[in-house]
Amino acid sequence: MTSEAKAAANRRNAKRSTGPRTASGKARASRNAFRHGLSIAMRTDLTDILEVSEYFRSLMGEFGGADREQAVRAAEGQAELLRVRHIKATLINR
């Protein structure tokens, strides 16, 4: 158990610890725990959306639209696999 003196000292120190205040400091601090990027959500920028939709269209054409949900899952899985391969290559090249 923490003594009252130590708890009071911690409270005083915490008042001085405000964290980053500038936009660049906040941006830098937001990446403090970043290691490899595998746990972040898949980006939803235009390139990724086009990549998934292109693969989806090819699957739908190949299987004649038999199972739309499976084609969506396969397209998303393919995009995720490409993302992981890109991250792996980036880490190896460091």
pLDDT of residue 9: 94
DSSP string, 7-76: HHHHHHHHHH-----SHHHHHHHHTTT-SSSTTSPPP-SHHHHHHHHHHHHHHHHHHTTS-HHHHHHHHH
Cα gap 86→6, rounded to integer Å: 48
**Given a cut of 80, is residue 50 above it in pLDDT?**
no
Task: Please tell me what DSSP assigns to residue 2.
Answer: -
- For the chain, give every domain's residue range: 4-93
Q: Would you place residue 23 in the very low, low, confident or very high pLDDT band (cuts 50, 70, 90)?
A: very high
Burial class (CB in 10 A: 0-12, 13-18, 19+), 79: buried
